[in-house]
A and B are shown apart, each in its own frame.
Chain A
């Protein structure tokens, strides 16, 4: 039996090599299909890694508290332009250093607005962030020059500002900024610090913004009494669920909400670990969907191979007759043609994997040269899957021609001209 399989494999490899052009054209459908699957899986994995690494650099220990009822599937209400005033500065203060929320390592209260800044004759429009609390704990980053504002300045509604790297360059160029006065909505602010260049993480550009005390933002610049959002961090990702529950409890108590189900909440708490899990799920689904679409071309390739094998059975009628005359059983003939088909599809699959890997690698070089942090990867599982699928296609589309060959009557087959 093993010897028989070996002999069949040897014979079919020899006949494949004897008809190189035809063999290649026969395999082309499988080659293209497998290459497409490999490319999509590889580029998909690369894109997924890029997105996930962005989220990870943002931090998976972040918590966002937004005003308005929770609708964890939809966008926050504020993103739709609806102003909800239920979240207050006092809420942030209540969360900060609260002994009932032991794992909350930092809290920052935010009110943001796009404003035009003026310095002498220069003007520049950027995001002004009224951010108070444990700014560096939550957001990270570092000062390039000067200092950050203190809690005392916060309480005193001090007109002080820390500039992002881009803003500093736009308004001051190479000259020092610390100590200078700039205008925001005609209020004079003293520059007390400049942040180090940091770039964009997710959607936030940390260089194209300025930071002022939250109290100053609300009372002086915007004239409001509520927060846009609160951003916080837990000391360890494993304490995320516990901390989120504790935050909800504190806020419900403060807002006099007795319903613990969450349906009466006037705030919602999101965290980056959940977002990461969600994005991973979504990108996985997308990747496998695309791979399945590419896999459809494998089906077409399989049908092409079935066609060629039917022609081959016809061409080799006399050979089949001879094999039967010297003692081949129907099962022997079926096995022989099945082995041939499987060898063709598996070989096509192997070539497809190599072609796909090569194209993915070239694509990764191009993407890298465009400045993205991109990793070339071919997962062993996708290679094994591609080979498995090719062999299975050989099996499925080989059965019909093989059984047709085996049903030939030996006399008819020998007489065939």
Chain B
């Protein structure tokens, strides 16, 4: 089991006022799954993704990642786990300004303890997302869809166990959005575990399984029967 969550609670305390964001979640995600976490804004889906992605800690409950209880890991160990086992794709791309595409993708390798030829590896990953011709471009010189593909390449460069995508199509036009989702499906077909966070049913349906969240509680966890697929040209089949 890659992800095991038991009674996961997250509360924010602000001068004696306690806000519950996640109220005792329980679920498991296996290696190789493509799961959407879906819910309206304020449902706690982003908070859940941050905890699952080891960017944040739960208030209580158990979170086992790759068989390891994450409760006792210190900041440095969490940073190392994020570096080696997790890749993130954000809605706003979060690319470094004034830096070219290749350097952006090399960034996680800068913090890696592994001995990898960063240049070769980053070029290979960029070619796999169809950006082999944009290596020297600066991030302000490419389109939104290309930016998100750079972000995906960056998430892949360290060969992570799992990729978290937080509203990856939120800032994209529909064609670019479909292209990005196609890449995720291709990666999943190749064996990557992917967790997609979104508020749109249409986007969520690219996955095999949807976990629905509302007000910090799971209100549904079901398989997708009519999985969406792109035709490879940014159109739906």
Contacts and interface: CB of A to CB of B under 8 A. Distances in A.
Contact of B111 (A15, A318, A328, A409): A328
Contacts of B56: 409-411
B236 interface: no
Interface stretch (A66-74, A319-327, A338-346): A319-327
B192 interface: no
A15 B108 CA distance: 19
B34 interface: no
Among A11, A321, A325, residue most surrounded by chain B Cβ atoms (within 10 Å): A325
Nearest to B75: A330
B96 A319 contact: yes
Nearest to B110: A7
Given A4-B110, A322-B94, A326-B82, A410 B55 contact: yes
A303 interface: no
Among A7, A14, A327, A330, residue most surrounded by chain B Cβ atoms (within 10 Å): A327
B79 interface: yes
B108 A414 contact: no
B99 A326 contact: no
B145 interface: no
Given A411-B55, A411-B56, A327 B96 contact: no
A329 B111 CA distance: 8
Given A414-B55, A414-B94, A327 B83 contact: yes
Contact of A330 (B50, B76, B83, B96): B76
Given A410-B55, A411-B55, A326 B111 contact: yes
A18 interface: yes
B53 interface: yes
A325 B154 CA distance: 11
B99 A14 contact: yes
Contacts of B84: 327
A284 interface: no
A23 interface: no
Given A327-B108, A329-B111, A322 B55 contact: no
Contacts of A14: 98-99
B90 interface: yes
Contact of B98 (A18, A321, A327, A411): A18
Contacts of B99: 11, 14
A157 interface: no
B108 A326 contact: yes
Nearest to A10: B103
Given A319-B96, A326-B111, A414 B79 contact: no
Contacts of A325: 53, 55, 82, 88, 94
Interface string B52-86: 01011000000000000000000110011011100
Contact of A329 (B79, B88, B96): B79
A326 B83 contact: yes
Contacts of A326: 82-83, 88, 107-108, 111, 154, 158
Interface in A10-48: 11, 14-15, 18
B141 interface: no
Nearest to A4: B110
Contacts of B75: 329-330
A15 B107 contact: no
A331 B53 CA distance: 20
A318 B75 CA distance: 18
15 contacts: A3-B110, A322-B94, A325-B53, A326-B111, A327-B79, A327-B83, A327-B84, A327-B108, A327-B112, A328-B83, A329-B75, A329-B80, A330-B79, A331-B76, A414-B55
Interface of A: 3-4, 7, 11, 14-15, 18, 318-319, 321-332, 409-411, 414
Across the A-B interface, the 10 shortest Cβ-Cβ residue pairs = A327-B83, A326-B108, A327-B111, A329-B79, A322-B94, A410-B55, A411-B56, A411-B50, A328-B111, A327-B82
Given A4-B111, A325-B82, A326-B108, 10 more contacts: A18-B98, A318-B94, A323-B107, A326-B82, A327-B111, A328-B79, A328-B110, A410-B56, A411-B50, A414-B55
Interface of B: 50, 53, 55-56, 75-76, 79-80, 82-84, 88, 90, 94, 96-99, 107-108, 110-112, 154, 158
